[in-house]
Amino acid sequence: MTQLKALSTAVLVHISKLLNVPLKGMVAVIALLDEGATVPFIARYRKEVTGNLDEVQIRDTQEKLEYFRELEERRETVLQSIQEQGKLTPELKGKIEAALEKTGLEDLYLPYKPKRRTKASIARDRGLEPLAQLLWDQQAGELRLDDFAATFVSEEKGVGSAAEALEGARHILAEWISENAEFRKSVRGMMMAEGVVVSRAIEGAEDPEGKFQMYAQYSEPASKIPSHRMLAIRRGAKEGVLTFEIELDPQKPLAWLRAHVIRAPGEWVAHLEQAVEDSYERLLNPSIQTEVRLELKDRSDEEAIKVFRENLENLLLSPPAGMLTVLAIDPGIRTGCKIAVVDDTGKFLENSVIYPFEPKNDLVGSVKTLASLIAHHNVQAIAIGNGTASRESAAFVQDFLRQANLTKIFSVTVSESGASVYSASEIARQEFPDLDLTIRGAISIARRLQDPLSELVKVDPKSIGVGQYQHDVDQKRLKQSLEASVESCVNRVGVDLNTASWALLRYVAGINERTALKIVEYRNGHGKFRSRFQLTAVPGFGPKTFEQAAGFLRIRGGENPLDMTAVHPESYGVVERIASSLGVTVNELIARPDLVEQVKLEGFATESVGMYTLGDIREELRKPGRDPRDKFVAPQWREDVKEIADLKPGMTLEGVVTNVTRFGAFVDVGVHQDGLVHVSELANRFVKEASDVVKVGQIVKVQVLNADPKAKRIALSMKALEPAPAEPKRKNFQKPEQKAASLQDQLASLSSKFKVR
């Protein structure tokens, strides 16, 4: 709780308003976080304490908490530094303590920050600060300005004339203007609101693929430029293809600065005007440019990370095919198709290689191998990686199943993004130390069909291929955000304690990698867990870890039927009282979900168990151990479409959404190259963001607009398959001449409001 006290009431109220979260619930969240509680645990099992804040609100609180604690630490450093300089006035201290943004705090600190040697510092060393102060105060003295300036002439100090003295004073004024917190804030606001991001191609720079052709001569308002375009321009600049800056008509900031600097007429006006122009051109504009560029980068990073996080969540929560024995094929032409068979728990059984394509063209041998493996292991499904030769492999498998009359076995194409990364990883080496990389990859493909979540947690999220400019954003923020997403998905679904790998267990709330390894080690040595409470026997699994993790771990067929549900062990007593009130056992209550409908929950509320928790318990008893993910459905590829050249405008296809960006969605239609459904082609209505219409893993119907095999570009449409929107009823019919006059009036009105560039 000491950390909680470090934030003032004003800061807590500010965060509450910023996030639109009730103050009481937010303070409760901060207290729980400080006590070591995890976000999934707080969101699921402490609803009474927080007032039912959801996981998004809790994570937002956690992020803001980190920001404002960093701000508090910086504030203390700034106050101490200015105090040591003997320049901390009560007024300045009040401003610093009231600062609620890092930028504002740094603006206040800027005049007191240790600096390298500048024109202003040289002028100060020459004793010209009193002259600068006279100009700044704008009050007539006993001497004329030129005469007063002449008193600063000194051969010893290097001031040769009154003109040189005034020039030095203007340098000091320029620095004062550039370091004024109010001035900086206003100019920064102007640049963000009215500045224009302008990019240009660097003469002579090579762009062989034409990736940055669009931005060779490009401009867009800084306030509106979307994340993907800003990151693309920055990448072009990083690769030495583009240069960019934030352009702002200097007349507006200069006029504003003059109005705030020049307060009275007099002989100082010309000098103050020069100081304003010098300050803006030499100090303020370059400095604010850098800050705005960074702010746009931060904004773009945030948007890109949000897109990545949403895509990752949707991918991780893809419907599982379930506990089936799966034969996986990692397609290949020259090197053959690698096969791996896993049982219904994901355990590796056998591997092989077949060569149904050129150059070997061993169709007979391939069919024989497939038939043998299917019969020997009672295979129920076939998973085919979507890499090179996947469509050819899929066609071969479907022909085989049809001719062998194995209609109960289904085959499906599975994304193999990141499978090669997994196969070469330390996790894969630990799981299969004696297997070749290609076989590990095939095993991963099989397991992805069974349960995408359990397998994908073994792969670095950045290797899964659902991001947008992921290598250009802040890597620390990206890593934290993606790990939070994985943690959220894992705990939302729940983890089977007796089958989960340590790689999956490490994402359960309260469990780290070391504890996850200890759980697997204990399970290997003592057999399956029979009870959640047995976890306390695992070395290092203390009461706090048990509190955080137990509700998210599932045991099927254990001693207590509640162990397979999301009911937390701390609430088992409540369920027992509910069962007792109905005159049944807990086993009977779970076996007959309809019984819970007869219960009035209000009668079971206590100080620690309120209606939020009781509502969750009722939902869990209605569907004990339910999986929140959708039902698995396999996409159907067109048999006459195997490569881009087969695509024709107007064709209708079924596909799977593989990536969603702000500008559209990429869809796999089975030709080894994803097609783009631009945001304007998603629906017959205005779509602000593609994620409002589609999500990663979704099966959609699309129409081909065009396909370019050479450039490997496919344009698709979803709205082309929607019924056209009804024509709006016409009102207030106008004659052509009336309509023309009306348009002219509108144009005249617009012309008066906006300057034409």
Residue 336 maps to a domain = yes
Q: How much is the pLDDT for 756?
A: 32
| 392 and 480 together in one domain | yes
> What would the mean pLDDT of 497-521 be, rounded to a whole number?
96
The more confidently predicted of residues 608 and 18 is 18
Residue 728 maps to a domain = no
| 90 and 209 together in one domain | no
Task: Please tell me the distance from the alpha carbon of residue 736 to that of residue 725, in angstroms, as a whole number.
Answer: 26
> Shortest CA distance to 448 belongs to which of 382, 391, 392?
382
Q: How much is the pLDDT for 728?
A: 54
If pLDDT is split at 50, 70 and 90, which confidence band does 276 have?
very high
Share of the chain above pLDDT 70, in %: 95
| 390 and 490 together in one domain | yes
| 345 and 461 together in one domain | yes
Task: Please tell me the distance from the alpha carbon of residue 298 to that of residue 689, in angstroms, as a whole number.
Answer: 19
* Structural domains of the chain, count: 3
pLDDT tens digit sequence for 102-151? 999 999 999 999 888 899 999 999 999 999 999 999 988 778 999 999 99
Cα of 197 vs its chain's centroid, Å: 24
| 210 and 356 together in one domain | no
| 423 and 526 together in one domain | yes
* 90, 112, 134 - which closes a domain: 112
| 240 and 330 together in one domain | no
Residue 516 maps to a domain = yes
> What would the mean pLDDT of 28-45 be, rounded to a whole number?
96
Asked whether the predicted pLDDT for residue 244 surpasses 80, the reply is yes
If pLDDT is split at 50, 70 and 90, which confidence band does 725 have?
low
Q: By 3-state DSSP, what share of the chain in percent is helix, strand and coil, each rounded to 5? A: 55, 10, 35
| 368 and 498 together in one domain | yes
The more confidently predicted of residues 711 and 312 is 312
Residue 691 burial (CB count, 10 A):
18
Q: How much is the pLDDT for 748?
A: 39
pLDDT tens digit sequence for 286-314? 999 999 999 999 999 999 999 999 999 99
Q: How much is the pLDDT for 434?
A: 93
The more confidently predicted of residues 511 and 358 is 511
Residue 555 maps to a domain = no
User: Which CATH number does the domain housing residue 84 bear?
Assistant: 1.10.10.650
* 76, 92, 112 - which closes a domain: 112
> What would the mean pLDDT of 49-71 be, rounded to a whole number?
95
DSSP states of 148-182: HHHTT-BTTTTB-SHHHHHHHHHHHHHHHHHT-HH
Lowest mean pLDDT among 70-79, 280-289, 371-380, 746-755: 746-755
Lowest mean pLDDT among 21-25, 371-375, 505-509, 595-599: 595-599
pLDDT tens digit sequence for 541-565? 999 999 999 999 999 999 999 999 9
Q: How much is the pLDDT for 671?
A: 86
DSSP letter assigned to residue 557: T
Residue 579 maps to a domain = no
Asked whether the predicted pLDDT for residue 4 surpasses 60, the reply is no
Lowest mean pLDDT among 36-40, 159-163, 267-271, 687-691: 687-691
If pLDDT is split at 50, 70 and 90, which confidence band does 737 have?
very low
Q: How much is the pLDDT for 114?
A: 87
pLDDT tens digit sequence for 474-490? 999 999 999 999 999 99
Task: Please tell me the distance from the alpha carbon of residue 424 to that of residue 489, in angstroms, as a whole number.
Answer: 25
Q: How much is the pLDDT for 470?
A: 83
Q: Model's pTM, two decimal places?
A: 0.85
Q: How much is the pLDDT for 560?
A: 95
Residue 580 maps to a domain = no
Q: How much is the pLDDT for 2?
A: 43
| 396 and 524 together in one domain | yes
Per DSSP, the three-state class of 321 is coil
| 533 and 435 together in one domain | yes
DSSP states of 486-551: HHHHHHHH-EETTT--HHHHTTSTT--HHHHHHHHHHHHHH-S---GGGGGGSTT--HHHHHHHGG
Residue span of the structural domain in which 37 resides: 2-112
Token pair of 229, please? Answer: 């375009």
Residue 376 maps to a domain = yes
Separation in Å, CA 570 to CA 289, 530, 531, 593: 56, 18, 14, 21
* 247, 277, 308 - which closes a domain: 247
Residue 546 maps to a domain = no
User: Which CATH number does the domain housing residue 499 bear?
Assistant: 3.30.420.140
Asked whether the predicted pLDDT for residue 534 surpasses 80, the reply is yes
| 426 and 523 together in one domain | yes
If pLDDT is split at 50, 70 and 90, which confidence band does 466 have?
confident
pLDDT tens digit sequence for 169-215? 999 999 999 999 999 999 999 999 999 999 999 999 988 888 899 99
